[in-house]
Amino acid sequence: MRTNLPIVFILMLGLSACLEHKSSLALLSDDMETTIIRGGWVFDSLSDQRRRNSGILLQGNKIIAVDVENDSGPYNKLIQLGDDQTVLPGFIDLHAHYSLDFFYEGRVDEAHYNGLIYLGNGVTSTWSAGEMNPQRITDQRNKIQAGEAIGPRLLSSGPYFGGFRCEYDVKIAEDDCIAWPNDITDDEIRQEVDYWASTGISSIKIKQSTPRETNIIIDQAKKHGLTTAGHLANYLVEYDVSTREAIMLGMDRIEHQLLLALSPEEADPDELAEIIQLMIDKQVYYDPNLQMYGSVNLRQKHIENMVWTDEAKYFTPYA
């Protein structure tokens, strides 16, 4: 969501769950601190416009009610917002890499500062979408959950499941990768899923695996109640597993591209319509990750325009 306001105030726990609670005194507990946020504006994501904020009630760190009137006290703490501040539900980033050196130099996951930047821009939940240093992400996730570190809710994914564990040295799924050898057995794949499921990952990211490997990963993930997402195209602009095949194997989310076309104009409209209908029928989600049709796929065509920009000017004051 874009806003013309200079300041955006973010709450981490969803507003929409408590919209019906106009009066909330019966919900209060005497042994927890209560906070009231007054003034400014509120956008609840259930309507198309923001409205004046009469009061948002928190008990501890949980939102109890919105639209609380002035005579609903007493409270332990009052936060008064200005007219240029808007309260929003937290944003979710479903493809939130924590990587540095993103292309070709050796990716490294940095969870501490990246997490602060996500949080500072209003993203209160992230899924890491494949990790190069999974233990580092898991450690930070556990610290955040324990209240020992500041960051968004970090839904971890573990390492990439497939040849991309060797990064860009692997062009297609059949290439050998020391971390995911091309002679990996069915049982070894299942053991790999079992292990990472035991670490508390939320979903599995499949990238540059063969159809056989993909089928086994999906099957074993379902036994643990885990969903799967796939980056299906490889670095020769071919399919390791086609979108149709991935859907029929039971993949839950498709990342980036639905077809191999490098831009929407190149896509076959009939094929695209067929794939979209199949996704609707099978209840498969699509994560477009919009920059894939811009800076990544079109950078060679417009290389003279690919100049680095000062990203800091796009950050909020909190970042």
List pLDDT tens digits, range 59-105: 988 899 999 987 656 788 999 999 999 999 889 999 999 987 766 67
Tell me how far apart the alpha carbons of residues 225 and 129 are, in angstroms, rounded to a whole number: 17
Contacts of 169 (CB under 8 A, 6+ apart): 175, 177
pLDDT band at 28 (very low <50, low <70, confident <90, very high): low
Number of domains, the chain: 2
Closest CA to 123 of 158, 157, 149, 88: 88
Q: Can you spell out the DSSP letters for 128-160?
A: --SBSSHHHHHHHHHHHHTTSS---EEE---B-
Given the DSSP bridges, would you call strands 99-100 and 34-38 parallel, antiparallel or unpaired? unpaired
Flag whether 142 is in a domain: no
Please indicate, yes or no, whether residues 173 and 276 belong to a single structural domain of this protein: yes
Does residue 178 form part of some domain? yes
Domain range spanning residue 57?
A: 9-88
258 in a structural domain: yes
CATH code where residue 17 lies:
2.30.40
Residue 51 lies in a domain: yes
pLDDT of residue 20: 44
Identify the pLDDT of residue 24: 45
CATH number for position 211 = 3.20.20.140
pLDDT at 102: 65
Q: Are 158 and 202 in contact (CB under 8 A)?
A: no
- Of 59, 88, 117, the residue at which a domain comes to its end is 88
Alpha-carbon torsion, ordered 281, 96, 318, 10, to 10 deg = 30
In degrees, rounded to 5, the angle at the alpha carbon of residue 117 between the alpha carbons of residues 289 and 119 is 85
Tokens of 217: 């990963």
Verify that 172 and 268 share a domain, yes or no.
yes
Q: In this structure, which amino acid lies at residue 107?
A: R
Residue 299: inside a domain, yes or no?
Answer: no
Residues 82 and 171 in one domain: no
Predicted local confidence at residue 7, as pLDDT: 39
Least confident of 28-32, 227-231, 241-245: 28-32
Q: Hunting for tokens 């409270």 — which residue is that?
A: 75
DSSP strand E in the chain: where? 9-10, 34-38, 41-42, 51-52, 56-59, 62-66, 77-80, 86-88, 91-93, 99-100, 108-109, 123-127, 153-155, 203-207, 227-231, 253-255, 285-287
Domain stop point among 53, 88, 123 = 88
pLDDT of residue 157: 98
Q: Do 176 and 75 share a structural domain?
A: no
Is there a domain that residue 271 lies in? yes
pLDDT (0 to 100) of residue 105: 73
The domain boundary residue, chosen from 38, 67, 88: 88
Q: Which of 4-8, 54-58, 197-201, 300-304 has the lowest mean pLDDT?
A: 4-8
Asked, for residue 64, whether it belongs to a domain, the answer is: yes
